[in-house]
Amino acid sequence: MPARFSTIRTGARGGGPACVSMFDAATGRWLATFTVGAHAVLLPGPLRTLREGAHRVVGAAWVRTYPQPFREDAFDPVWLAGALAANERREPDLLAIAMQYIAGSAPLWDEEDPALQIAGDASYGPVIDGAREEGSDFNDYLGIAWSYADEATDRPETRQFRCLDCSGYVRMVFGYRRNLSGPDAGAIALCRAPRKQRTAIPRRAHEMASHAPGVLVVPPSERAAAGLSRLAIGDVVFFDVDPDDGPQIDHVGIYVGRDTQGHHRFVSSRKRADGPTMGDVGGRSILDGDGLYARAFMAARRV
């Protein structure tokens, strides 16, 4: 570890993952918290408000993804300096990117391909026979074909253009979009079928819970509320909402922190809200209490 940094290591507190918090050795200023085995890194940045309607999350914690699962013996101080500088420039991090798809969000175009819209108000899926269709992945929203390593190319469904279902939304935020500029831009590999090595984000919510990169911070066996204290902003949260598919994880979102009322709030793409939301349409978007999603909360993973 370079001499200009000091560290505090925490591990397995209440069953939580091993973490390394880094500080400026001269000033004591907190610089980052890395989780061993995970890409997601918590960093300080300018105070900001994530807002949808009356719901607000105010804070100065930003989340970016390390190029590989973190190991202390392979720490890259250049990456950390770049991530902190990006925060000061207010370059969108994972949370800011997640908010770019909620209702009313303005279109955002790819800098390298001005014809490609990469963000803006997303629907959940088209209405087919009176119900919103599932299956809208990130490339359906974009309207592009996507070639996977060792898997067939996935071509977009025309009827799902500008649509993202719950897992497609998470794959868009963590896998397709970049939360840093430069060669270590921060996106995580994607796959269609789960990989045993957990090196890429698979397609379905229950597959993400078991086979996405990173570490489980709340295992499914612990049934939610006992693990709220272990959550960090940017964790991917999983639910069993639909009773018709049995006891299986069937919904996924992103934890964005405590709102101004003190509740643990998340954002996800949902049928009744017709797209990504941290609002309360069809159930309160909070993990505490006795609402639909609080009761259905099953697990959390730090990707």
pLDDT tens readout for residues 188-223: 999 999 999 999 999 999 999 999 999 999 988 766
User: In the chain, what are the domain boundaries?
Assistant: 5-96
Cβ within 8 Å of residue 159, ≥6 positions away? 126, 128, 133
Predicted local distance difference test score (pLDDT) of residue 42:
98
- Give the model confidence (pLDDT) of 19-69 as tens digits: 999 999 999 999 999 999 999 999 999 999 999 999 999 999 999 999 999
Does the reported pTM lie above 0.85? yes
More confident residue, 247 or 111: 111
CA angle, 226 as apex, 228 and 40 as ends, to 5°?
35
Average pLDDT of 128-153? 94
CB atoms within 10 A of CB 3: 7
Cβ within 8 Å of residue 77, ≥6 positions away? 2, 5
Distances (CA, A) of 170 to 67, 71, 265: 18, 24, 16
- Give the model confidence (pLDDT) of 157-169 as tens digits: 999 999 999 999 9
**What percentage of the chain exceeds 70 in pLDDT?**
95
Judged by average pLDDT, the poorest of 6-15, 182-191, 249-258 is: 6-15
Predicted local distance difference test score (pLDDT) of residue 51:
97
Q: Are 107 and 117 in contact (CB under 8 A)?
A: yes
Predicted local distance difference test score (pLDDT) of residue 185:
75
Predicted local distance difference test score (pLDDT) of residue 93:
97
Predicted local distance difference test score (pLDDT) of residue 53:
95
Q: pLDDT confidence of 4, banded at 50, 70, 90? A: confident
Please determine, for residue 129, whether its predicted confidence score (pLDDT) is greater than 80.
yes
Q: Are 81 and 58 in contact (CB under 8 A)?
A: no
Predicted local distance difference test score (pLDDT) of residue 245:
75
CB-count exposure of residue 44 (10 Å: 0-12, 13-18, 19+): middle
